[in-house]
Structure 1
Amino acid sequence: MSKKAVVLYSGGLDSTTCMAIARAEGFDPYPMSFAYGQRHSVELEKAAQYAPRVGAVEHQVVEVDLRRIGGSALTSDLEVPKGRAIDETIPVTYVPARNTIFLSFALGWAEVLGAFDIYIGVNALDYSGYPDCRPEYIAAFETMANLATKAAVEGIGRYRIHTPLIDLSKAEIIRRGRELGVDYALTHSCYDPTADGLACGACDSCRLRLKGFAEAGEKDPVAYASGSKPE
């Protein structure tokens, strides 16, 4: 019998691969996406397109306006960095407490669904320095989830936060997705797309994605803006 799993799903490369993995591991995926005031909201269109193709049982889109607090280039008028040296310093594209907010919503839905498994596509190897993508953060949230929910306290089940991509390079993530039949043409990763939804090719997310496809020996199937110079 299949089990239910809530999957945090942005419509990007990592979360789409993560959902395919959840399905391959025997779960019925219940993807949850967020309209949080992000400048790259085209990702939600991709999420809506792709969710049915990987067997989503029910796709929730939660509205939470993080532009009200700002503090990030993704949720304010701050400029998205382009062409910077990618390292483990925390960039201005970090959204304050984003994964904590998203996981909290996912935990609430999981408890309502009677599910005890949550998938999130965080990555600690090929990432842009976000503190809420680290293994110790995920372990801490899982501990909290099992202290803060009725289902866990009453012994009905124990919550587990699955992070199948956390130790993989971007190239390894792409190869795993290909094995599972993921169509990356229906994903979106750019932080600062054009008005037509084309990827910029120069933000951290685009550059990490392009690097991953190059190392996997593939060409990225998404369209990039004219004049951008994918590496």
Structure 2
Amino acid sequence: MAKAVVILSGGLDSATCMGIAHAAGYELCPITFDYGQRHRIELESAKKVAAFYGVKDHRIVSIDFLRQIGGSALTDESIDVPTEGVSREIPVTYVPGRNLLFLAIAASYAEVIGAEAIYIGVNALDYSGYPDCRPEFIEGVEHVLRIGTKAGVEGRPIRIETPLLHWTKGEIVRKGLELGVPYELTTSCYQGGEVACGECDSCRLRLKGFAEAGAKDPIPYRPGFND
């Protein structure tokens, strides 16, 4: 069975990627990154999603350096998570170099285990303005993998699969529900609490997606949200 590395954060998008890779018949090889993020509850969510799919080996990789340097509301608790609404400008929740590091490490793992693809839940449509969620970024990294890895130069380039890249959040949720993705096990809130805040960009986009899909989000929110 062909293998696929899935970058699994424990959130809605990455869980949907797990469902899509599973439906495509891949042996799932999820990798989750502990980068000192504020919303550490997502690590437990990732473990639950991996267990749901019965994966043989779920790798959790620590990148403490991202917390050491800070520069993001997700790694530096002195920077407040914005709650004013989704902006098209690059927000303070952007983590410098995060997806570049994630893909580099995932590519190393994929090459060692012989995986042919890496799934990542980046989205260039309903997103918070992150530059590392755009098609140009993914194309650039794929080019680097073709010329900078043994698999690439031997004619077995590792593909980066981005099935959610041009979907709305509603389309993502609808696909996930169709595939039976366990959204009740996921978390998206940037605040990292047991109950989602409903106000951060991630919560707003998630609620928007479920509303567009005509479904109710199964995770708990603060009173007044998702009622």
In structure 2, distance between residues paired with 1:83 and 1:219: 23
Q: Can you give the 5+ residue segments of structure 2 that lack an aligned partner in the other structure? A: none
Deviations 1:79-111 (A, max 9, x none): 000132x23210000000100000011000001
Render the CA deviation track for 1:42-76: whole Å, top value 9, x for unaligned: 00101111102124231100001111111100000
The runs of at least 4 consecutive aligned structure 1 residues that moved more than 6 Å come to none
| Alignment partners' CA distance in 1, 2:54 and 2:163 | 18
> Residue 38 of structure 1 corresponds to which residue in structure 2?
37
1:137-193 deviations in Å (ceiling 9; x for gaps): 0011001011111222233x1111000000111111011011111121100000003
Match of 2:25 in 1: 26
Amino acid of the residue matched to residue 207 of structure 1?
R
Give 1:83's aligned residue: 84
RMSD in angstroms over aligned alpha carbons? 1.3
CA distance in 2, matches of 1:45, 1:27: 23
Amino-acid identity (%)? 58
In the alignment, which residue of structure 1 is the partner of 2:130?
Answer: 130
Mark the CA change 1:222 to 1:21 in structure 2 (over 3 Å): closer, same or farther: same
Match of 1:159 in 2: 158
Instruction: Check conservation: 2:4, 2:117, Cα contact below 8 A.
Output: yes
The alignment partner of 2:33 has SS state of strand
Q: Whole-Å Cα distance in 1 between the matches of residues 25 and 168 of structure 2?
A: 24
TM-score when scaled to structure 1? 0.94
Partner in structure 2 of residue 117 of structure 1: 117
Give unpaired runs (5+ residues) of structure 1.
Answer: none
Separation (CA, whole Å) in 2 of partners of 1:123 and 1:229: 24
